[in-house]
Amino acid sequence: MEQFISFIVVLMGAFLFFGIFIAANQSSTNSYSYNPTSQIRNEDPRKLRTDQELLDCMRQMTPIKFEHLTADMFTRFGYDTQAIGGIHDEGIDVIAKKDGITNYIQCKKYVTRKVSLGTLRDFYGAIADHVGTGTGYLITTNIFTNEAKRFANGRRIVLLDKISLLEYVHSAKIEELIPDVEHPIGQNQELCPRCENPLVERHSKHGPFLGCSTFPKCWYRKKI
């Protein structure tokens, strides 16, 4: 009888030890697998930016880089694109072809300036003779005037303001192609009145002057 009781005690002790071991092992496994910051640390910081931060970054890009970003965006949508913007681009910055149809794109990288009726008329004049069944896209990082919007009605022109542009950016999944701001524009830094890019001090034989940082894309200059 005493031997039977001893056997039962030993058996119960073994079960108790085994149960404690299993519980401790599960607890260790759970604490290791649960790491709420593991994905955040490995995430590309550029994918975590807000829409306003993305917009600010695009506004800080040079005109040529913004045109290439636009070309990359349309490439993601299945277009065969070519960025042709430059000094003599005649109002067309990107050509996008798809299904045998050619589309024409103009990019306006503005901060506070609105795209005016005159700008839209010039763009339409540049594409009217050869747009055919294609579409003209005028894309800006800001907004359009009401007169410009009315002019686009009934014509083969699509206007993409800053809100529509961000929707296209997310749809094309090109957030990672937008570089972070390297040299933010200071609050007191003077901007070019033509293209709203920063003015920088330059020197000539006639003395110092302020010129557009995008020269030779923009030839604006101002005496100091």
Is 112 in contact with 196 (CB distance < 8 Å)? yes
Residue 37 lies in a domain: no
Mean pLDDT is highest, among 24-33, 183-192, 213-222, for: 213-222
pLDDT at 39: 38
Q: Is the pLDDT of residue 19 over 60?
A: no
Q: What is the CATH number of the domain that holds 129?
A: 3.40.1350.10
Structural domain tally of the chain?
2
Residue 50 lies in a domain: yes
Tell me the sheet residues that pair with 96. 81, 103
Select the more confidently predicted residue: 181 or 76: 76
The b-or-e profile of 184-210 (16+ CB within 10 A means b, else e) is: ebeeeeebbeebbbbbeeeeeeeeeeb
Provide the mean pLDDT of the chain.
80
pTM confidence score: 0.66
Which residue range is the domain that position 94 belongs to?
46-177
Judging by DSSP bridges, how do beta strands 207-212 and 80-83 pair with one another?
Answer: unpaired
Residue 11 lies in a domain: no
For residue range 131-170, list pLDDT tens digits in order: 889 999 999 999 999 999 999 999 999 999 999 999 999 9
